Amino acid sequence: GEDVEQSLFLSVREGDSSVINCTYTDSSSTYLYWYKQEPGAGLQLLTYIFSNMDMKQDQRLTVLLNKKDKHLSLRIADTQTGDSAIYFCAESIGGSYIPTFGRGTSLIVHP
């Protein structure tokens, strides 16, 4: 299986919360990241969490980490149409700080 797995699609209504889930396999992950990619563009780092943290909140974004289950989630509150994009989960191991990416989750926000 892949090192980082995430579901491929998520569809939500504007104003609702979105939750994108991710699982990873390497327990020695040090940082876990969420990136956003808009069509035809590069990746934008949204947020990251250190592996000894359980939660991180940044405005509309909440990251939850369950290290025991190797599960990471990104919650976007009050989802807007501008949030439609592909969201990549990634992990880095040890001191490399080089992320290994999942395949990305396409978030579609409809009115």
Partner 1 sequence: GAVVSQHPSWVICKSGTSVKIECRSLDFQATTMFWYRQFPKQSLMLMATSNEGSKATYEQGVEKDKFLINHASLTLSTLTVTSAHPEDSSFYICSARRDTDTQYFGPGTRLTVL
The neighbouring-strand residues paired with 21 are: 73
Q: Spell 51-75 as b/e; 16+ CB within 10 A means b.
A: eeeeebeeeeebbbbeeeebebbbb
Pick the closer one to partner 1 by CB: 20 or 35: 35
Q: Per-residue contact track with partner 1, 19 to 58, x per CB under 8 A?
A: ----------------x----xxxxxx--x----------
Pick the closer one to partner 1 by CB: 1 or 111: 1
Q: At closest approach, how far in Å is the CB of 63 from partner 1?
A: 15
Q: At closest approach, how far in Å is the CB of 15 from partner 1?
A: 28
User: Dihedral angle at the C-alpha atoms of 48, 107, 104, 66, nearest 10 degrees?
Assistant: 50
Interatomic CA distance for residues 94 and 8, integer angstroms:
27
Positions that interact with partner 1 (CB under 8 A): 2, 4, 8, 35, 40-45, 48, 88, 95, 97-104
